[in-house]
Structure 1
């Protein structure tokens, strides 16, 4: 059954051309070939301020670029987030984008008592992280702490599940055959919209 997919390219370089951009392209190719609808959000090309106060987060009016991203994410049944690991976490620009997008009233609603209501239920996600270190080192030595935080404290908090992950290590030294294999894997994930 065709699904609506939103691809969030979280690399902060607006020029593109990185392996993460090729991975996003491959995912989109697979999804479109299988009949899924795809919308892309290029975070590096959006103009938005960083949130600095609780009042801005809770009651501020998001800029037009963020409202357009929210509309795309609201329509999507599956989110794909791609980003490079920088200093052990997602780039700051992507974190700033998620803070802008996942505001109360859009992603969750404060409840009178207890836990906030999750407004993004019924959606799934795939997180694709590229890194220079081996992926097993990030997962086992460093505990994939920033990935776990994204899964639990952002996506899980707003109701997205299941959340699948793809960790690609050693990207600076990937040969042509390994890079092609990763791109084919992304096409396959796109075809399945998972």
Structure 2
């Protein structure tokens, strides 16, 4: 069954040689081969300010670029999020995008005396994170804390489930053959819309 897929490319560097960009393109290529429809959200190309107050987060209108991204995310059945690990977490620009995008009214609805209701039920996601350290070190020594936060406190809280993850470590030492192997694997994820 064909799916609608939003690919969020979260590397803040717009240069085309970034591996995150190649991964996003590989996923999109695989998805096209599988008969799926994709739309790209390139966070580095978006123009939006930082959120500076709780009131702005809860009741401010999202900037035009964020409103467009929200519409793409509503349209999609499945999301693919690609970003590099910087200082143990997602880059600041990607985190600012998440703060702007996952506002009340889009991601959740406040309810008097109860926990907020997630508004994104029925959507699934895959998060792909690249990093300089070995992936096993991030997962088992650092407990993948940044990734866990994104999965549990943002995506799952908003109703997105299941959220699968792919960690790609030792990027700086990766040879061409290993890089191409990863691209083929991510392309296969795209064909399966997983």
Gaps of 5+ in 1: none
Q: Structure 2 length normalisation: TM-score?
A: 0.98
Is 1:143–2:143 an aligned residue pair?
A: yes
Q: Deviations over 1:16-64 (max 9, x none)?
A: 3201110110000000111101000000000000000011001111111
1:2 matched residue in structure 2: 2
Question: Residue 120 of structure 1 aligns with which residue?
Answer: 120
Residue aligning to 2:182 = 182
Take 1:186 and 1:25, find their aligned partners in 2: how far apart are those partners?
9
Query: 4+ residue runs of structure 1 moved beyond 6 angstroms?
Result: none
- Kindly indicate whether residue 129 of structure 2 is the aligned counterpart of residue 129 of structure 1: yes
Matches within 5 A, 1:59-74: 59-74=59-74
Q: Aligned runs of 1:18-167 on 2, under 5 Å?
A: 18-167=18-167
- Matched with 1:172 is 172
**2: CA distance between counterparts of 1:65 and 1:167?**
28
Distance 2:119 2:45 in 1: 26
Deviation at 1:173?
1.1
Alignment gaps of 5+ in structure 2: none
For 1:99 and 1:143, locate their aligned partners in 2 and report how far apart those are by CA, in whole Å. 23
What is the deviation of 1:115? 1.1
TM-score, normalised with respect to structure 1: 0.98
Moved more, 72-81 or 107-116: 107-116
Q: Distance in 1 between matches of 2:12 and 2:146?
A: 17
Q: Map Cα deviations across residues 125-167 of structure 1 (whole Å, 9 max, x no partner).
A: 0000000000000011111111111110000110000000000
Partner of 1:154, secondary structure, is: helix
Distance 1:8 1:80 in 2: 6
Question: Partners in 2 of 1:92 and 1:16 — Cα distance?
Answer: 20
Counterparts of 1:91 and 1:58 in 2: how far apart (Å)?
Answer: 23
